[in-house]
Amino acid sequence: MRKFVLIAALLAIVAGAMLWITSAPRPMDAATLEEFEGDTERGEKIFFAAGCGSCHMATERDADPLVLTGGREFVSDFGVFIAPNISPDPEHGIGTWSQAEFMNAVMRGISPQGAHYYPAFPYTSYIRAEPQDVADLYAYIRTLPADATPSQPHRIGFPFNIRRSVGLWKLLYLREDWVITGDLTAEEARGRYLAEALSHCAECHTPRNALGALDTARWHKGAANPSGTGRIPAIAGDDFGWTEFDVSAYLETGLTPGFDVVGGSMAQVVRNLQQLDKADLDSLAAYVIRASE
């Protein structure tokens, strides 16, 4: 009996060690990250395309989207995630982060301390971004106002508060490949990059499975609202009858084909995308229609 217990204990130790190793963060190659020099002008476009201010601005109605105080709550089946302060403040923001630390956070979901970020932070989309774009974003964020508001801890219970388990989740779901593939036009490919990498449209418009990963089989088919009330509408399938012109006009003007005004969290998304070139809005529209086929 003692021998059986000893063997069981050893097997448990080995299994635990294997889980610890396989769940370890996998950062980007450090030498590669040093190759990029950020451009603030390009970074401003990336900032708006990626919607950074939409999640990280303060929660007050008249908050400045360029002051990345954090505090917005995202309700989920796993608990309440709270957007952190990502302003250049050296104590409460990311003012002391290196470019490599920032890029690993955005594209791999890894903190400067080597911990996993929860995928409420859409690095599952940003992993597809061009590293140069993320370096440009880093350069631009460093020019924004610093704010000393402390970040608030997530409200997550056991077992989801075990961050190391996110490493196992990443093994299952963190992928760099595109969802919509095939023979895309140059305009559709540009739109795919904006939608699947930077603007992360699917993070809201696509339902999730039991483990919180995007259900790519129902891409853009509508999902629960991250705010906890109502649903995000489908932008694909039989319930979506907009044309490419409709989508582009909506992103440019905030008006639906029926002349309703954009509302809710999508209003801020439209304000962000209005900072892009019209060609980019047309590309996004071309992609949305292609992805709905």
pLDDT of residue 244: 95
Does 166 share its domain with 221? no
Does 147 share its domain with 233? no
Q: Could you tell me the CA-to-CA distances from 16 to 9, 21, 23, 72, 103 in Å, in that order?
A: 10, 9, 10, 36, 30
Does 113 share its domain with 220? no
Residue 181 lies in a domain: no
Instruction: In whole angstroms, give the CA distance from residue 42 to residue 49.
Output: 11
Per residue in 230-279, pLDDT (tens digit) is: 788 999 988 898 999 999 999 999 999 988 888 888 889 999 999 999 99
Taking the CA atoms of 141, 274, 74 and 114 in sequence, report the sign of the dihedral they define: negative
Q: Which residues contact 46 (CB under 8 A, 6 or more apart)?
A: 133, 134, 136, 137, 140, 198
Residue 191 lies in a domain: no
Instruction: In whole angstroms, give the CA distance from residue 78 to residue 57.
Output: 23
Domain hosting 262: range is: 205-291
Does 111 share its domain with 152? yes
Q: What percent of the chain has pLDDT over 90?
A: 69
pTM of the entire structure? 0.90
Residue 192 lies in a domain: no
Q: What is the mean pLDDT of residues 83-106?
A: 96
Q: Is the pLDDT of residue 37 over 60?
A: yes
- More reliable by pLDDT, 147 or 75: 147
- Domain endpoint, select from 156, 173, 190: 173
Q: What is the mean pLDDT of residues 42-69?
A: 91
pLDDT of residue 75: 86
Residue 111 lies in a domain: yes
Q: Is the pLDDT of residue 134 over 90?
A: yes
Residue 253 lies in a domain: yes
Structural domains counted in the chain: 2
Contact of 133 with 139, CB cutoff 8 Å:
no
Residue 142 lies in a domain: yes
Residue 187 lies in a domain: no
Residue 229 lies in a domain: yes
Per residue in 136-192, pLDDT (tens digit) is: 999 999 999 999 999 999 999 998 888 999 999 999 999 999 999 999 999 999 999
Does 46 share its domain with 166? yes
Q: Is the pLDDT of residue 282 over 90?
A: yes
The torsion angle over the Cα atoms of residues 147, 149, 151 and 152, rounded to 10 degrees, is -160
Does 281 share its domain with 223? yes
Does 225 share its domain with 169? no
Q: What's 79's DSSP letter?
A: E
